[in-house]
Structure 1
Amino acid sequence: MTNLLVGVDTGGTFTDIVLLQDGDFKVHKVLSTPEDPSRAILQGLNEMGILQDVGVLVHGSTVATNAVLEHKGVPTGLIATAGFRDVLEIGRQTRPKLYSLGAQKVSPLVPRELRVEVIERLDERGEVMVELDEASLAQAIATLQRSGVEAVAISLLFSFANPAHEQRVSQRAQEAGFYVAASSSILPEFREYERTSTTVLNAYIGPLIARYLERLEQELGERTRLRIMQSNGGSISSTMARREAARTLLSGPAAGVVGAVFAAQASGFEQTISFDIGGTSTDVALINGMATETTDGTVGGYPIKLPMIDIHTVGAGGGSIAWFDTGGALRVGPRSAGANPGPAAYGHGGTEATVTDANVVLGRLVPEAFLGGTMSLDSQAARQAVDKIATRLNATPEEAALGIIRVVNANMEAAIRVISVERGCDPRDFALVAFGGAGPLHACELAATLRIPRVLVPTVPGVLSALGTLVADTLKDYVRTVMVPSEESEEVVESVLKELEQQGRQDLASEDIATHNIRIERYLDLRYVGQSYELRIPFEQNVEQAVKDFHAAHGQRFGYNDPNELVQVVNVRLKARGVTSKPEQRRQKAVHDATAQPLSQRQVIFAGAAGEVVSYDAPVYARADLLPGTMLMGPAIIVQYDTTTVLPPGWRSYVDEVSNLILEQVEGK
């Protein structure tokens, strides 16, 4: 058993491992070790007995995300064009809370004393107005050396049009021993603030990522090739991840969306909403044949312009803590119990009521079946924690638990509306793909509220993000700002695309991707002249067709368009995709009249029509006993190693040919 392909996703509470062997998935979960995520990975591989046999390990990591959210990056300096060092602090005029008089901007990751200037100037076409002054550069480098910074971000005015000055500054900074991130390499695109912010983020987390990956590679040994998931849903080599660390900021959630696409397409679903509930957060994304992408993301309040899957995250997960605000209203999250101490039911010292504890009190989690029986839940501790909330509400523990679930479900519902209704899409046209450790626990109630007709629970829902790393393609993104009228752009667009394609093919070839497995995808960022935002449009024939597609897309997205209005080509984009061979999910014909015997019966609580507590005697089934064709009627509980699926009253489920669970609300219920 050698040269195994293994996927790993490090979450806030659990580290998930998926092994692909002989067409079957083997899964394992261990508690995460946030102080050093590699410890949990190595522990899990050891427990599976495969540490010495891993040929390729694809890793979805939270190291970059946590470093930004917790402000634990390295001391970072910024070199800017003279007169522009405060771009990072001035930012934009947008206000996250428009009517709040006490709104606070996030503090820049680089304080003002570590932002230095060099004398140079380019115009908007990249032509030199003021040559780079070497004396000012030497002084800037010396200032940063005295300040003790470890990394340097370089963002000079209009360097996306001509990188020569930035390349010289980068050379000098590297000679001085700094970790260097230059905007002309990270993001050669206009919009000064966002380009600078993205470059600073890369520098801020780069050394941490580099050290973490180097340590993990040493532990794994030379026999194992390490690949890292990016925010765009593709993987890159660990060497590239060290250099362009900002590409990994949404690594784990992106892998979950890739896994959701894979599972849904196996069951014949193209339009889906991915619904991933972990220990600390819920991630949702719209999938319309393929995952929706954005270049307007933020992490911890800091803009990042690199392409990433359009994922909306809320602080609502299994470990989210229930609390009361100053007005006495019940809230849930975003604070989480995490892996340590975890929910009270884990028995590790946690005393505050969490979503997991509420599900235990309601009978929806089976204590002795948690993690396949390898970790038992403490029902008494969960009840004591929820009872504190119940006392404040003057209610029973069961009523309080239902209240906690209602509140957290409302937070999740709002997240789904952001990526569907607010983007002009009707949730009723989609299926909900529920995964993560807690996704299948809440999916049916969310679907009923949003009138989503079907819920799909994949074969390995609790580790779908780890599975997503296994099926992800190698993916490289390239962009070049051109800023030309569409009617004059054909020659420029073709020239830039040719150059970017050559670069993409070279980069993928360096990662041992065979030529016949390389796919090139072309896009244009278009806008009406005078607009301050643009839409990404596939470039399949010529600019004229892309402009027609832009008018249609503008009408879909914003409810209006004007085919007589002039259109501008802002950016030229290209994706170089190294297509990986996808594992075949085993297909079995449905067994006529297939039935399953319940493992047990238990009391499970749901809300009645008026919101009252209603207790049902519900059967508990083992997921492994459900053959294709098996149909169940709710209420029922379906347990498996990596998650628990709750089938409420008025719902039914059946198992399809690839063993995915399809849940539907019964008409009239």
Structure 2
Amino acid sequence: MQVKDILKSVDGNIDAVAVSLLHAYANGEHEEEVGEVCRGQIEHVSLSHQVWPQLKEYERTLATVLNAGVMPIVANYVATLDSFLPDELRLELFHSAGGMMTPETATALPLSLALSGPAAGVEAAREVAMDVDAPLAISLDMGGTTTDVCLIVDGRPEVHEQAEVGPWKVNLPMLAVHSIGAGGGSLVSHGAAGLQVGPASAGADPGPACYGRGGTRPTLTDAAVILGYLQASEDSDASVAIRKDAAEKAYEGMARQLDIPLTRAARGVVRVANANMARALRRITVDKGVDTRDCVLIAFGGAGPMYAAELARDVGVSSVVVPRDSSLLSAVGCLATAPSYTRQRTIRLARSSWDDDAFRDVCAAIAEEARENLLRGRPGESEVALTYLAFMRYMGQSYAIEIPCTPETTADEFREMFWQRHQELYGYHTDEPWEVQSLRVRASMDPESLGTVRQDVTGEPPVPDATVTCFYDGGGMDTPTYRRESLTPGHRLEGPLIVADETSTTVVPPGCTVEATEHGHLRIDVGEST
């Protein structure tokens, strides 16, 4: 049956179609021909060799189908959004591999937008890691419903090929963000298995009980209010009023059931939440052979700075950095990130049949695809930087190792780098045959500069604006509170204390110290637990 006949046989309107042929990853000409026929009748066509040109036909087809499924929605949304902008402004969208892309590319490859929000925060955290000279950093983005973590090595966030998007495992280059259901709005329950925090959330409506908007179930944010980290406020000018009585009422039943004080119940909830986040941090570090003692934890999001110092102690991290504008860091990441596009393709070049010219030709072809997608919708732009990453493995292995390279890298150079990296990761290497399974090319342009923020040392030390009672593992303690703008470089303060601004609260527990950096960040040195 011809493609035209198939399309005619389908009843009803078709908004989008996915085309995935068995070996299109190697040669997409037949898919292009099928796509042209489809475009005669259907507006949105998703071709597998354009979405994910790799082996594994099931994974490639799944990504192609999901891409087709969201094409009409994203195309309509992007067109509507773009129509509101004045002619002198250009719309850019952040993608999940860490970079900006044009509306034209987003409309053709909308699946690239999946998980782009957490990726933007990671890109901003990368800049912070460079500010504080941290070769190994962990980004911790804790919001209302989830906590997202990612490892950053030498200023480069880790990238992986597979991520969970709803119930599906999607194969596309994405920043290696690991998410768990633990956020400020996470619901707390107690049952046969003990205390549980998340993954269910109170959401924005009604939100935590302390917001006074009708929520009655206990959340992690309510625990923070009971412990004194968030102070009650009935200020009519505040966007959200904080009611301690409502938070306490939400926890009364649990505390009564456990026969413990409210503050002890709230501390238990915080410890459980920290344990959940600690498992996530170990998964992206210790499980991959990274020593957390060598890492800096970069904490942001609405709730991240509140729990970061105690969490750092739990996993052996000695230093926490809370960026300036910490609750807005994902938005900052969108502004400061370079336009880029990442393309990966299966090439399967074996050592036994290696040809330097063939490898250069493959590099050029994939680079042109990446460059074309980057420059789509950018008339007049031409300056593009290209970086290359080979995925190497021994013949027959199911996993591959990332090896940085250039189009001029020779077979002997590949062998030496592969052996060295395999030795580092697994403690051995062999003379067995190997291959370059796939090649990833990233095309990028220079980002817009936001300027460098630096602070001068002031002569006077900061003065607390109040003293409140907060509860830690050792019980209640008098805790001074400071406005964040009052902290400047050169003044180190000892915990316990709280640093607050209009959108974020940083808790510095007993045994920790905090100091502002010249870039406006807060650096917390984590001491021993007390």
Fold conserved (TM > 0.5)?
yes
Contact 2:105 2:376 in 1 (8 A): no
Cα displacement (A) at 1:369: 9.7
Instruction: Say whether 1:303 aligns with 2:169.
Output: yes
Contact 1:371 1:643 in 2 (8 A): no
1:46-85 counterparts in 2 under 5 A? none
Q: 1:537 to 1:349 in 2, by over 3 A?
A: same
Question: 2-side partners of 1:283 and 1:222: how far apart?
Answer: 36
Q: 1:171 to 1:269 in 2, by over 3 A?
A: same
- Higher mean C-alpha displacement, 356-365 vs 541-550: 541-550
Q: 1:175 to 1:514 in 2, by over 3 A?
A: closer
SS of 2:518 mapped into structure 1: coil
| From 404, 407, 416, the counterpart of 2:281 | 416
| From 50, 60, 76, the counterpart of 1:195 | 60
Aligned to 2:510: 649
Cα displacement (A) at 1:407: 1.1
Q: 1:297 to 1:532 in 2, by over 3 A?
A: same
| From 367, 380, 383, the counterpart of 1:501 | 367
SS of 2:91 mapped into structure 1: strand
Cα displacement (A) at 1:469: 0.5
Cα displacement (A) at 1:513: 8.2
Question: 2-side partners of 1:210 and 1:620: how far apart?
Answer: 48
1:153-187 CA-partner distances (Å, limit 9, x unpaired): 11111011221221122122222224211101111
The share of aligned pairs that are identical, in percent, is: 34
Cα displacement (A) at 1:668: 8.5
Contact 1:274 1:286 in 2 (8 A): yes
Cα displacement (A) at 1:241: 0.7
The one-letter code sitting in structure 1 at the alignment partner of 2:423 is G
Instruction: Say whether 1:576 aligns with 2:443.
Output: yes
Q: 1:668 to 1:645 in 2, by over 3 A?
A: closer
SS of 1:305 mapped into structure 2: strand
Which residues of structure 1 form unaligned runs of 5+?
Answer: 1-134, 609-613
The one-letter code sitting in structure 2 at the alignment partner of 1:650 is G
Instruction: Say whether 1:551 aligns with 2:412.
Output: no
Q: 1:165 to 1:509 in 2, by over 3 A?
A: closer
1:184-237 CA-partner distances (Å, limit 9, x unpaired): 111111111111111111112222212222222233444432111111111101
SS of 2:233 mapped into structure 1: helix
Q: 1:220 to 1:513 in 2, by over 3 A?
A: closer
Cα displacement (A) at 1:148: 4.6
Cα displacement (A) at 1:349: 1.1
CA RMSD of aligned residues (A): 2.1
| From 176, 188, 191, the counterpart of 1:322 | 188
| From 82, 100, 103, the counterpart of 1:238 | 103
The one-letter code sitting in structure 2 at the alignment partner of 1:568 is E
Aligned to 2:290: 425
Aligned to 2:348: 483
Question: 2-side partners of 1:340 and 1:382: how far apart?
Answer: 16
The one-letter code sitting in structure 2 at the alignment partner of 1:301 is P
Cα displacement (A) at 1:313: 0.4
Contact 1:232 1:307 in 2 (8 A): yes
Aligned to 1:600: 466
1:125-164 CA-partner distances (Å, limit 9, x unpaired): xxxxxxxxxx342333234x31554322111110112212
Contact 1:424 1:556 in 2 (8 A): no
1:517-556 counterparts in 2 under 5 A? 517-540=383-406, 541-556=409-424
The one-letter code sitting in structure 1 at the alignment partner of 2:255 is A
Aligned to 1:617: 478
Cα displacement (A) at 1:240: 1.0
Cα displacement (A) at 1:537: 1.2
Question: 1-side partners of 2:109 and 2:26: how far apart?
Answer: 20
Q: 1:513 to 1:436 in 2, by over 3 A?
A: farther
| From 192, 196, 219, the counterpart of 1:331 | 196
The one-letter code sitting in structure 2 at the alignment partner of 1:649 is P
Question: 2-side partners of 1:391 and 1:217: how far apart?
Answer: 55
Aligned to 2:491: 630
| From 214, 225, 239, the counterpart of 2:79 | 214
Q: 1:578 to 1:344 in 2, by over 3 A?
A: same
The one-letter code sitting in structure 2 at the alignment partner of 1:442 is Y
Instruction: Say whether 1:662 aligns with 2:523.
Output: yes
SS of 1:637 mapped into structure 2: strand
Contact 1:372 1:642 in 2 (8 A): no
- Higher mean C-alpha displacement, 573-582 vs 482-491: 482-491
Q: 1:389 to 1:544 in 2, by over 3 A?
A: farther
Contact 2:173 2:344 in 1 (8 A): no
TM-score by length of 1: 0.75
Question: 2-side partners of 1:275 and 1:531: how far apart?
Answer: 33
Which residues of structure 2 form unaligned runs of 5+?
Answer: none
Question: 2-side partners of 1:369 and 1:542: how far apart?
Answer: 68
Question: 2-side partners of 1:653 and 1:643: how far apart?
Answer: 16
Q: How many positions carry a matched residue from both structures?
A: 526
SS of 1:185 mapped into structure 2: helix
SS of 2:215 mapped into structure 1: coil
Contact 1:273 1:285 in 2 (8 A): yes
Cα displacement (A) at 1:480: 2.7
Question: 2-side partners of 1:436 and 1:444: how far apart?
Answer: 14
- Higher mean C-alpha displacement, 529-538 vs 486-495: 486-495
Q: 1:596 to 1:268 in 2, by over 3 A?
A: same
- Higher mean C-alpha displacement, 227-236 vs 161-170: 161-170
Q: 1:514 to 1:142 in 2, by over 3 A?
A: closer
Cα displacement (A) at 1:385: 0.9
SS of 2:92 mapped into structure 1: strand
Q: 1:554 to 1:479 in 2, by over 3 A?
A: same
Cα displacement (A) at 1:511: 4.6
1:256-292 CA-partner distances (Å, limit 9, x unpaired): 0001011221222231100110110000000011101
| From 636, 640, 648, the counterpart of 2:501 | 640
SS of 2:225 mapped into structure 1: helix
Question: 2-side partners of 1:513 and 1:395: how far apart?
Answer: 66
The one-letter code sitting in structure 2 at the alignment partner of 1:476 is Y
- Higher mean C-alpha displacement, 156-165 vs 214-223: 214-223
Question: 1-side partners of 2:387 and 2:379: how far apart?
Answer: 16
SS of 1:406 mapped into structure 2: helix
Contact 2:103 2:377 in 1 (8 A): no
Instruction: Say whether 1:160 aligns with 2:25.
Output: yes
Contact 1:371 1:640 in 2 (8 A): no
TM-score by length of 2: 0.94
Question: 1-side partners of 2:380 and 2:319: how far apart?
Answer: 39
Cα displacement (A) at 1:655: 0.8
Question: 2-side partners of 1:369 and 1:580: how far apart?
Answer: 42
SS of 1:537 mapped into structure 2: strand
Question: 1-side partners of 2:24 and 2:87: how far apart?
Answer: 39
Aligned to 2:318: 453
Instruction: Say whether 1:439 aligns with 2:324.
Output: no
Question: 1-side partners of 2:252 and 2:75: how far apart?
Answer: 46
